[in-house]
Structure 1
Amino acid sequence: MKSKPLPTSHSGPSDSPGFLLWRISNNWQREQRAALQLLGLTHTQFVMLAVTTWFGSQEPLTQTRLSQLTGSDPMTTSQVVRALLANGLFVRDVHPTDTRAKIISVSEAGRDIAHKAIVVVEEVDRKFFAALGEQQSSLVFLFQKLLDKKSLTE
């Protein structure tokens, strides 16, 4: 009898949820990247811009808070914030209650591109996940469950 090439409980990569998620994520990211490139944004820039547009109207956002809301590491957040500031899509102001902190908000140009980008991203999502049909809501539920579990361990 021939032994498995790897000590795994899976019969092969197509049975591994992690491997499948990695492949799906790569395909989805490739499509998002191509669509957002037309707007001059990376996907990470889009996420930071969209989250700042969404939550910035509800609370003063510091760079640390933006990192938390996006699930991005602080170094990536810092680099993306600098790029969005340099491109005129973000502005930085004094925090209303903490004079040591700066708040990040979306500029008028940033708001305009965020509105265009969300339409593009959601269209890519609609096409990408269309094969799931009615099961799409189950996938979202399962993703949320995985994120909730992760949040509990952090």
Structure 2
Amino acid sequence: MAEQIEFKFKSPEESPGYLLGQMTLLWQRKQKKVLDPLNLTQTQFVLLAALAWLSRENDQVTQVDIANQGNADRMMVSKVLRTLEEKQFISRQEHQTDTRAKVIKLTDAGAEVLQEALAAIEDADIDFFSPLGNDLSTFNRNMVAVIERNKSE
């Protein structure tokens, strides 16, 4: 019965989806290893980084802004921001003009842990993707093209 199953790809090493899945698991494991000592999850790190990035341009960053920046679910963002607030890495204040929105700001402790996390994550990424050598920028451009092509689906 199993020999009747038809595969487009002759082996797992020829399947981009399989390879992406394997690489993602290994990459996430490496990120967890460097973020655990900082008391951050990968999702918390991403949202702190999004907040810091957005705060460069706008001093009224909202939860919706952060969710949009990371293509993230708004309810999940709300829960993670609540955890970050409990850890005293962010503060939430009333928005000046939108009574439904909260302005999210990095605290000093949040900025400090984010700076440590950025250094650790960037070093981990450099190490993780080092087998690509000079092909890294091509790899990144190809990933951007795949992301852009599939974003609207």
TM-score between both structures, scaled by the size of structure 1: 0.92
Deviation at 1:143, TM superposition (A): 1.1
Instruction: Report the equivalent of 1:57.
Output: 56
Deviation at 1:99, TM superposition (A): 2.4
- Where do 5+ consecutive residues of structure 2 fail to align? none
Q: Matched residues, percent identical?
A: 32
Instruction: Report the equivalent of 2:16.
Output: 17
Deviation at 1:95, TM superposition (A): 1.5
What RMSD over aligned residues (CA atoms) do the two structures have, in Å? 1.6
SS at match of 2:100: coil
Q: Which residue identity is paired with 1:72? A: A
Instruction: Report the equivalent of 2:31.
Output: 32
Q: Which residue identity is paired with 1:110? A: G
State the distance in 2 between where 1:31 and 1:3 align. Answer: 35
Instruction: Report the equivalent of 1:123.
Output: 123
TM-score between both structures, scaled by the size of structure 2: 0.92
Instruction: Report the equivalent of 2:47.
Output: 48
Mapped pair 1:87 → 2:118: no
Deviation at 1:123, TM superposition (A): 0.5
Instruction: Report the equivalent of 1:144.
Output: 144
Report the count of equivalent residues: 152
Instruction: Report the equivalent of 1:135.
Output: 135
1:123-143 residue CA offsets vs partner (Å, 9 max, x unmatched): 000100011000000111011
